[in-house]
Amino acid sequence: MYPLLTAILGLTIFSTASLASSPERAEQIVNERCHLCHGKNGEASSAIYPRLAGQNADYIVKQLTDFQLGQRKGTMNEMAKDLTKDEMVALGFYFAAKPPKSHRVRDQEFAAVGAYLYKNGNSFSGIPACQSCHGANGYGTATLPRLAGQHKRYVVEQLQAFYNGARTNDHAIMHSIASKLTEFEMQALAQYISGIE
């Protein structure tokens, strides 16, 4: 009986110690490589990189895994190649805990077009409402990305990548949607999404 109790207590202490060290390891990785593009708090240093602050932890883990496996292509393939699963999870929780930001929308009329598309879609071209998957507030789910406050340029570039097949992961549904969007609609959606808090 005592050996079993000792083993259980040992595993509990080991698990707690592992969990306690995860934030420190995540911060170390962020300081070593992530901050150059994504910023220390996930705010992104440039509009060409995605904001990760407030992003869903599971979604971050999935994207890192896809980059590591080559299912998604880009600079991140090299960055993710040697991350362990535990490190990916730690990074997911690290960025998910950071306070997200939004952009000031300068063209409210144009953003209103994006708001309509986001909330209602376009029945004339067969585009579904973005909120049906990404939520009314753009917060996404465990498996779908938070869009709220994302950089306009990044949103447009991802929609274009889905449109032309350059983005190879999460492709099936988003390609069918993006392939029906006009450039005007992509830009309007990005304008609206960037301002969601």
CATH code for residues 2-96: 1.10.760.10
Stretch(es) of the chain classified as CATH 1.10.760.10: 2-96, 108-195
State the Cα–Cα distance between residues 6 and 1, nearest whole angstrom: 9
State the Cα–Cα distance between residues 23 and 29, nearest whole angstrom: 10
152: number of CA atoms within 13 Å, CB side? Answer: 19
Predicted local distance difference test score (pLDDT) of residue 172:
87
Predicted local distance difference test score (pLDDT) of residue 6:
43
Q: How many CB atoms lie within 10 A of CB 108?
A: 11
| Cα–Cα nearest to 185, from 98, 89, 93, 120 | 120
Tell the residue number behind the tokens 């998957």, with chain if given.
133
Predicted local distance difference test score (pLDDT) of residue 17:
40
Beta strands in 38-87 (DSSP E): none
State the Cα–Cα distance between residues 173 and 164, nearest whole angstrom: 13
**Fold topology of 108-195:** Cytochrome Bc1 Complex; Chain D, domain 2 (1.10.760)
| Cα–Cα nearest to 128, from 183, 60, 189, 72 | 189
Low-confidence residues in the chain, pLDDT < 50: 1-21
State the Cα–Cα distance between residues 130 and 128, nearest whole angstrom: 6
Predicted local distance difference test score (pLDDT) of residue 61:
97
CB 38 within 8 A of CB 44: yes
